[in-house]
Amino acid sequence: MTASGIVALGMLLAGSSSAAAQPGAKPAELRHGLERRLEAIATSLDGVIGYSIVDLTSGERIERLQQETFPTASTIKLAILYELFKQADERAIDLEQIRPLDRRHDVEGGILHELQAPSLSLRNYAVLMIVLSDNTATNVLIDALGMEKVSARMRALGLEQTKLRRRMIDLEAARRGDENVSTPGEIARLLQILYRGEGLSKPSHDALIELLTKDKSTPMRRGIPGGIAVANKPGTLGGVAVDAGIVFLKDRPYIFVAMVTYLEHEETGDAAITAASKATFDYFSRLAHASEYGRVIR
């Protein structure tokens, strides 16, 4: 073969290689589109938002302020729930144990506050904690499990910044700086642990996920079509809005965590989380239903 023929063959092969690489460029551009949408939501928000989104198929992450510490609000209940089932597996507690309500840690606003003298199983307190976000039920569980044991378990999992430091709505503790905190990245890691059932028996893992997927209206869920299973826990405080969970999208499950603080109005944080959740679902839905060339096949 002549020199010119070799050059021509090389150019042909290079062209074929370039063409073969093109399908991989399109998903990257799709991802960049999501990143731009999320950044636009963040920059237009009158507050500060951090997020961590994990593709449970590829392991890829899309993150912003993922190592910054935020107040968790009620999303810290994910850590309490894990500790509850972990201690049950260790036979340190019995989920069916009936425990009277200790009124010293009663919190206004929840259903238990309205009842006279309830005595419920630890399992049922957990249902109220997750489904209704009942803070009195949460305080009963904190006392049953041990506050320090929850934080110690998080440290053992490598979640150093995920800290349960006060009971629910303990304003004096909050004024001292004993806030319940974590980072978007650590909450995402905790959700990966919950998704895989790491450290839990299968019955405990199944019960935990079933509890988290029970129907509730939250900012994250409002960005996701009905019929998609979502295991999540939201939370709000003054100036704070959080939502975090696992989206069981067929063929493309993912984790979504958004933590917002410095808000003038909490509803703007909720709206930002919903917008970010919708943008994220749209992205993963296209990945789940499209061929490598981008044709959507439903």
pLDDT tens-place string over residues 142-199: 999 999 999 999 999 999 999 999 887 776 777 787 899 999 999 999 999 999 999 9
Taking the mean position of all CA atoms in its chain, how far away is CA 252?
Answer: 16
| CA nearest neighbour of 289 among 261, 251, 254, 241 | 251
- Averaged over 285-297, what is the pLDDT? 86
* Residue 200, token pair as written in the block: 């839990």
Is 56:41 a contact under the CB 8 Å cutoff? Answer: no
Cα separation, 238 vs 233, whole angstroms: 17
Asked if the model's pLDDT at residue 48 lies above 90, the reply is: yes
Residue 294 confidence (pLDDT): 83
Crossing angle (nearest 10°) for helices 77-89 and 202-212: 160
Judged against a pLDDT cut of 80, whether residue 11 lies above it is answered with: no
The confidence score (pLDDT) of residue 102 equals 72
Q: Does the pLDDT at position 95 exceed 80?
A: yes
Tell me what pLDDT residue 113 has. 61
Q: What is the pLDDT of residue 110?
A: 64
For the chain, which domains are there? 31-289 (3.40.710.10)
Question: 259 — phi, psi (to 5°)?
Answer: -125, 125
The burial of 65, by beta-carbon neighbours within 10 Å (0-12 exposed, 13-18 middle, 19 or more buried), is given as: middle
